[in-house]
Amino acid sequence: MPKVYNWQIGREMDYWYPETRPERQAAAVFDTNKCIACQTCTMACKTTWTSGKGQEYMFWNNVETKPWGSYPLMWDARILEMLGPQKWVKEDGGYVYRGKTIFEAAKPGERVLGYLPEDLDYAYPNRGEDETNEILRREKFYLKLPHDLWFFYLPRICNHCTYPACLAACPRMSIYKRREDGVVLVDQVRCRGYRECVMACPYKKVFYNHVSRIAEKCVFCYPAIEKGLWPRCMRTCIGKIRMFGFINKPEDADPENPIDFLVHVKKVALPLLPQLGLEPNVYYIPPTHVSDIKFLQMMFGPEAPQAVETYNKAMGGGDLELIAVLHLCVSTDRIITRFKLRGDKEVLGFNEKGDEVVRVPLKEPTIVRPFFDEKLKVYRHNSP
């Protein structure tokens, strides 16, 4: 197999095809601290793309409660267990993954380590919702600080991976990565429904349509991206946890590009299960309240504690620039490729053409209304 470089694991790895990167890579950042599991994103996607026959069980976007929630059933635990020991080592100031990726752990004659979920694995999309990491026993019904009962919401879509397992596994070469934005798509004419992609994707984000008998998956709402707009799940997000943009490789990182800034400069947004080796392009700001750091490191890589620290520092007022970008990115549904801070007053976002598309104050003005309105000669109060 050819060797390709995966910056998320800090080393070269085996992949079925040689390294080819798109002209630009579409990417997203999700702030898990703000997700309320309202499932508006899930329904926005469902009503847009998967309301047809054979798509009833499909959730291209789903939101699960960690640690117990999973869709399909135990997708993460199963692949991590199959993969075996996952070891990160600090070398030359950075972390290198010294375990095997799912490409390197593939069985003889197979391209990727994977498994095919059974029908029942898709039967309970809300399994584990709002369940904590421990069983709530009577003696636990009091507030203990720091509290060790936790859960968090993990919204998931296809990661439009740099090294997609679905693409590598397809014997018909029906899955392709668009040159212009890195969006991973299934060619609906070429596909014969072998389900190799379903078996290979460790995130289980390709689905088999039992009526049309072909594979279907998230398209990152590419018609919207082509118009400079965000995908549906991101535009409708109630918690404003989602940001969309384009990401560069670390060595080409542009500190004025909001996604590069969050991922490469501040390192506050991390990939999901980077040890699998796909270089996924959806990044997560890890939850700050989870006391089990090892769990966070398993999910988001060894740098999760530093990301939490950086985020907490910003929220405490210690990093105006980071706060500015987090505010800016959720204040528009237009793709921002560059931001600029104007002192401590406001932050501006620009599109690819260089036009200003959004301007956000860093401090909202406080207006105090006088108790007595001199003009109308009335008191303002809330009681009748």
Nearer Cβ to ligand SF4 (164/271): 164
Nearer Cβ to ligand SF4 (61/337): 61
Residue 23 is which amino acid? E
In DSSP notation, 230-283 reads --HHHHT-TT--EEEEEE--GGG--TTSHHHIIIIIS--SEESSGGGSS--SEE
Part in contact with ligand SF4 (CB under 6 A); list of ranges 141-149, 203-211, 319-327, 342-350? 203-211
Residue 282 is which amino acid? V
Please tell me what DSSP assigns to residue 173.
Answer: -
203 binds ligand SF4 (CB under 6 A): yes
Look at residues 160, 95, 24 and name the one whose alpha carbon lies nearest to residue 300.
95
Part in contact with ligand SF4 (CB under 6 A); list of ranges 16-24, 69-77, 87-95, 199-207? 199-207
Site for ligand SF4 in 216-235 (CB under 6 A): 217
Look at residues 309, 307, 301, 306 and name the one whose alpha carbon lies nearest to residue 8.
301
- The least distance separating ligand SF4 from the CB of residue 38, rounded to whole angstroms, comes to 4
CA atoms within 13 A on the CB side of 31: 22
- The least distance separating ligand SF4 from the CB of residue 168, rounded to whole angstroms, comes to 8
Nearer Cβ to ligand SF4 (67/231): 231
CA atoms within 13 A on the CB side of 364: 4
Instruction: Count CB neighbours of 150 within 10 A.
Output: 17
Nearer Cβ to ligand SF4 (151/153): 153
What is the rounded CA–CA span in Å between residue 107 and residue 113? 7
Site for ligand SF4 in 23-82 (CB under 6 A): 35-41, 63
- The least distance separating ligand SF4 from the CB of residue 249, rounded to whole angstroms, comes to 18
Nearer Cβ to ligand SF4 (176/350): 176
Site for ligand SF4 in 157-186 (CB under 6 A): 158-161, 164-166, 184
Nearer Cβ to ligand SF4 (280/319): 280
The rounded radius of gyration (Å) of the Cα atoms in the chain is 22
> What residues line the site for ligand SF4 (CB under 6 A)?
35-41, 63, 153, 155, 158-161, 164-166, 184, 201, 203, 205-206, 217, 237-239, 241, 278
